[in-house]
Each structure stands twice: as structure tokens, then as C-alpha cells.
Amino acid sequence: MILGDKSLDFDILRSAASQNLTIDGSFFSKRDLAKLANSQTNLKTMTLDEFPTEHDIVNNNNSCVFLIAYDRCGSGVDHSNGKNAHWCVVSGHFTSADEAINPLLLYCQHSNSPSPFIVEYERLRNSNAQLGGCEGSSFVQKYKCTVDLCGGIQVWGN
């Protein structure tokens, strides 16, 4: 739910559909999702053609969040050619003084789950990188969607 208001959620999805940004509420283009966020809310976005670096996440996490597409498997992160492509919000991280022992862990929230999940940075980055065409997605095949999911969206409040 966006901003906690179900009627606003429906209005935003209806607006996205009328602008041909989505079919059935799914977004396979980071640029279309960023465009929708900019037009409907008090958010500022920047699309990222490359996955955010560990430095980007660690140094910007107090002032922004990252929207990242990945392949979902249950409540985890998978690599299945976009068959289960979903978006998550990366809103926090965990670091250690000894990164060789403890890699960067990301605190994420999936859009339709009440529970957050934690994933290693490299696992999420690798899942995002293999979403080039989402060849495995029956939705993409059915609707002939343009796929632009690699990288992500950086989001700030105005």
C-alpha cells in the first residue's frame, strides 16, 4: 500500500494504466515506475542504469531508499530469468568492521508482504543483473512488455 491510503493506491494504478505505464499493475520498466512516482507523489526519483554500489547504499541510506527489481522465490531472492520479477524497497543495511566475514546485508520490503527480508548485497545485485529480458515471465510474453529492470530507482522525499 502506498502512503497508507487504499483509495490513493487505486487512483495511482488507474493513472498508470491510463498513461500506458502498466498493464494489470505490473511494472517492467524502472523509468515508467519512476515517472509515476514523480507525477503522483511528493517524491523525487533518479533512475539508475547500474545497480547501486555498496558505497551508494551505505552513504545514502539515511536520506533515500532504493527500489530494486529482483526475482522472488517465496520470501527470498532467486535467479530465474525474470519468471518471478518483483520490486523491493531497500531501506536499510547492516555492516561489520570485518566485511570479509560479514558481507553487506540489505534490509528490504517486498510490496505485497507484511514482513521485511534481509539479503546479501551480492545476491540481490546478481538477481537484478539477470533480469535483462525477463524471458521466463509469462506476463512479459503475453503482453509483449518492454523490460527495463536492471539497475534501480533512487527515491527521496521532497
Q: What angle do CA 77, 51, 102 make, to 5 degrees?
A: 60
Q: What is the pLDDT of residues 66-89, one digit of tens each?
A: 999 998 887 788 888 777 888 889
What is the C-alpha to C-alpha distance for residues 57 and 54, in angstroms, rounded to an integer? 5
pLDDT of residue 80: 80
Q: DSSP characters for the chain?
A: --TT-HHHHHHHHHHHHHTTS-BTTB--BHHHHHHHHHHHSSEEEEEESSPPPHHHHHHHTTT-EEEEEEEEETTEEE-STTTTEEEEEEEEEE--S-TTTS--EEEEEETT-SS-EEEEHHHHHHHHHT-SS-TT-HHHHHHT---B-SSEEEEEE-
Q: What angle do CA 77, 82, 84 make, to 5 degrees?
A: 60
The residue ranking higher by pLDDT, 124 or 64, is 124
pLDDT of residue 127: 93
pLDDT at 1 over 50: no
Could you give the count of Cα atoms lying within 13 Å of 27 in the half-sphere of its Cβ? 26
